[in-house]
Amino acid sequence: MAPTLALVGATGAVGTVMIDIINGRDTVPWGEIRLIASARSAGKRIPVRGTEHTVVELTPEAFDGVDIAMFDVPDEISAEWAPIAAERGAIVVDNSGAFRMDDQVPLVVPEVNANQLADRANFPKGIIANPNCTTLSMMAALGALHREFQLTELVVASYQAASGAGQGGIDRLYAELEAVAGKGLGARAGDVRAAVEAAGLSLADTPFAGTPLALNVVPSAGSHKGDGWFSEELKVRNESRKILGIPDLRVSATCVRVPVVTTHSLAVHATFAREVTVEAAHKVFTAQASIVLMDDPEGGVFPTPADVVGGDPTYVGRVRQALDFPNTLDFFVCGDNLRKGAALNTYEVAEQLAPRLS
């Protein structure tokens, strides 16, 4: 019998993209598809592959008969409900941060470590975690390079989109843009904060650390975890180590929010144990189906969020050999944080599991 797929958090920003992805597939391996959300959204009707589906409330019984449950809900909801779903027999693919660093939970990017899904003994809790969207945005590229050249060091600066903070982040950025556009703020744009507040947008309520995001960049993502490091920066380090299977990978990340709606970008400085050239890296990128190489600096070809948003692949460009660091590449990578960075990777894991459950 074809397995049953549940989608928990079906009405959120990522849940909506999950449904888009399911609708976009030529075929799906699922029998039933069940949409689950909070009581507030229960009863809502959403078409999935041509059939209206009614959103059901998140209850233990909602998982009866479910084979795979994709979760995109806040950490604390996942922490509570993923084990309940697993107990009812579902394999959970969870996109929250609740289980990513749990030793008994694999953290999977199919291009890099799909092998983790081959043996049920690898996920004794019945839970598989999906990485943080910032980590995910570069992982296909880094995984491919690591296989060839053996990654040892990583210095990363991010350009993270507003939708990483959910629908609230998207709405906030658009509202702030309207508050500053056409206001003649001039060369210094010195009163962005005042213009935003004058439009009735309290900076106490913003998801962006009390700071305007329009006409600004904000070096704060997640919460402060001590010694100056923010949670998002530590996730990039710890999740990269776990996914790539390099426990001693040296990583420094600076995570910065930018006024882009969707698509995270990263400037990556990656050092390898083996010699690496631009040509060899291009070959590696071109060989991987989920990577699109956009790298003709002379011709003005490189990835930008506006040009790649909505796409599934990881887009890589500006690949160059570091001039002063041996075995080191600098490159720029863009990935849609709602697709590969969240919904798509989660769904790809579910797809890989499906044949084992039929």
Pick the closer one to a second copy by CB: 8 or 266. Answer: 266
**Contact with a second copy (CB under 8 A) among 309, 316, 343, 350:** 309
Query: Alpha-carbon distance 132 to 344, whole Å?
Result: 13
Segment interacting with a second copy (CB under 8 A) among 110-118, 131-139, 206-214, 283-291? 206-214
Query: Alpha-carbon distance 304 to 37, whole Å?
Result: 34
Binding letters toward a second copy, positions 143-182, x by CB under 8 A: ----------x-x-x-x---x---x--x---x--xx-xxx
Segment interacting with a second copy (CB under 8 A) among 35-43, 90-98, 123-131, 243-251? 243-251
CB 110 within 8 Å of CB 346: no
**Binding residues among 274-303 for a second copy as defined by CB under 8 A:** 278, 295, 297-298, 300, 302-303
**Contact with a second copy (CB under 8 A) among 7, 8, 10, 13:** 13
**Binding residues among 64-123 for a second copy as defined by CB under 8 A:** none
DSSP 78-146: HHHHHHHHHHTTPEEEE-SSSSTT-TTS-B--HHHHGGGGS-GGG-TTSEEEPPPHHHHHHHHHHHHHH
Pick the closer one to a second copy by CB: 286 or 304. Answer: 304
For residues 149-188, one letter each, b for 16 or more C-beta atoms within 10 angstroms of the residue's C-beta and e for the rest, the string is bebbbbbbebbbbbbbbbeebbebbeebeebbeeeeeeee
**Contact with a second copy (CB under 8 A) among 97, 259, 313, 335:** 259
- Asked if 355 touches a second copy (CB under 8 A), the answer is no
Strand partners, 291: 314
133 is catalytic: yes
- Asked if 131 touches a second copy (CB under 8 A), the answer is no
- Asked if 9 touches a second copy (CB under 8 A), the answer is no
Write down the catalytic residue from 53, 133, 255, 334: 133
146 is catalytic: no
DSSP 26-42: S----S-EEEEE-TTTT
Query: Alpha-carbon distance 119 to 121, whole Å?
Result: 5
Pick the closer one to a second copy by CB: 150 or 304. Answer: 304
Q: Which residues are catalytic?
A: 133, 264
